[in-house]
Amino acid sequence: MARMSTRPPQRVTIAHVAEEAGVSRATVSRVMNGLATVDAEIGKRVREAAAKLNYSPSTVARSLAIGRTQTVAIVVPDLANPMFQETLRGLNRAAAREGYRVLVADSIENPEEEVILAREARRRCDALVLVSPRMEPEVLAELLPELSPVVLVNRESPAPGVPSLAVDYGSGIRSVVKELERLGHRRIAYLAGPDGSHGNQARMAALQPPVPSAPQPEFVFIPCGAMFEDGYRAREAVLGSGATAAVCFNDLVALGLLGALHEEGVAVPGRLSVTGFDDIPFARFASPALTTVSVPQTQLGEQAWARLWDLLNGRDPEHDLTVTPRLEVRASSGPPAAEAANAP
């Protein structure tokens, strides 16, 4: 008896609105979807009834009926990484323009998890964006068909029909090295990323001299990682290597190293040049501002959406894209110190 007049006891459905307006459910549906063939008077009545009951159609039921969820998913290896956050942001922004929403799945750097997540996320959505999975190529190739429509980011497509947006890591790393070479560096440390990482393998490969005899700086490879902490901890190894410049796997590592060097009072770039990769938003504002290679990750997210949108509409997506990152010379790189770097 004490039922409040506010908030109907349970969800308002299309049937309630139909009854209130004295029409059929079909008509309510037509009105809600703006189908033209409805009498103005009836349309008004339906809209009033809907407003009165505070009706809002169930997206789930609608999705089931029309066979689309208007949602896409993105699977990333680590939501804590600014790179993937940028991709997510770009995708989200672009998808929102078309009325689509984005579901996030974070594998937390767990490759097996990644496969399950991708499958599961795909089933909930109309399409999928897979960002640089640590996944083995064979596993990936087998998985992709059942994920379609899907777009691959930060990785080249191993399967036809799956658009991909890759980054030319090799070219990026070479542009950094070339700049350091130009500045006079002859012994360069490379702070390597995670072993399994596709991006790291590409960078390493680019550091091998194309012609063994070609004059080229000497490289010291230091196993490191992909996070701040990894770079921070690498200080001693870098300083002990005798290198005059440190090329870091990514900006996070570079910034971690920068912090450690600053604490120790090591001058950058006076004593050691430091370079990053990715050009995350912080890179410009580091002290000193970080020389790095700019990967337009937000745009990759937007491009991923464009491909997905094509696939969703049955169009052939634009051709695969390989982004060539641009060198951003800032204050953290400079000529090597005049003194020999190997002095203790």
Of DNA, a copy of itself, none, which one does residue 255 interact with (CB within 5 to 8 Å by kind)?
a copy of itself
Residue 213 or residue 313: which is nearer to DNA going by CB? Answer: 313
45 near a copy of itself (CB under 8 A): no
Q: Which of 7, 36, 39 is nearest to 23 (CA)?
A: 39
Strand partners, 188: 219, 245
Binding segment toward DNA, per CB under 7 A, in 5-13, 149-157, 240-248, 289-297 = 5-13
Per CB under 8 A, the list member of 77, 133, 163, 256 interacting with a copy of itself is: 256
71 or 110, CB closer to DNA? 71
Task: Mark out the alpha helices in 234-341 (DSSP H runs).
Answer: 235-240, 251-264, 297-312
Contact residue for a copy of itself among 33, 44, 51, 56 (CB under 8 A)? 56
Q: How far is the CB of 206 from a copy of itself (least distance, A)?
A: 27
- Pairing of the two strands 164-167 and 321-323: parallel
Q: Which of 51, 267, 281, 318 binds a copy of itself (CB under 8 A)?
A: 281
One character per residue 165-184, x = contact with DNA (rule: CB under 7 A): --------------------
58 in contact with a copy of itself (CB under 8 A): yes
**Could you give phi then psi for residue 76, rounded to 5 degrees?**
-120, 150
Spatial separation of the C-alpha atoms in residues 264 and 116, rounded to whole Å: 44
- The SS3 call for residue 181 is helix
Q: Where are the alpha helices (DSSP H) in 67-192?
A: 82-97, 111-124, 137-147, 169-183
- Give the ranges where the chain is alpha helix by DSSP (H): 14-21, 25-32, 40-53, 59-66, 82-97, 111-124, 137-147, 169-183, 198-207, 228-233, 235-240, 251-264, 297-312
For the bound state, the minimum distance from the C-beta of residue 326 to a copy of itself, rounded and expressed in Å, comes to 20
Task: Tell me the two tokens of residue 233.
Answer: 């901890």
| Least gap, CB of 330 to a copy of itself (angstroms) | 10
Q: For the segment 11-50, give every residue that binds DNA (CB under 7 A).
A: 11-15, 22-30, 32-33, 36-39, 41-42
Phi, psi for 230 (deg, rounded to 5): -65, -45
Binding residues for a copy of itself, rule: CB under 8 A, are: 6-7, 54, 56, 58-61, 63-64, 69, 71, 73, 79-80, 82, 85, 88-89, 92-93, 96, 101-106, 108, 119, 121, 123-124, 145-146, 228, 232, 255-256, 258-259, 262-263, 281-282, 284-289, 331
Interface residue list for DNA (CB under 7 A): 10-15, 22-30, 32-33, 36-39, 41-42, 55, 57-58, 60-62, 64-67
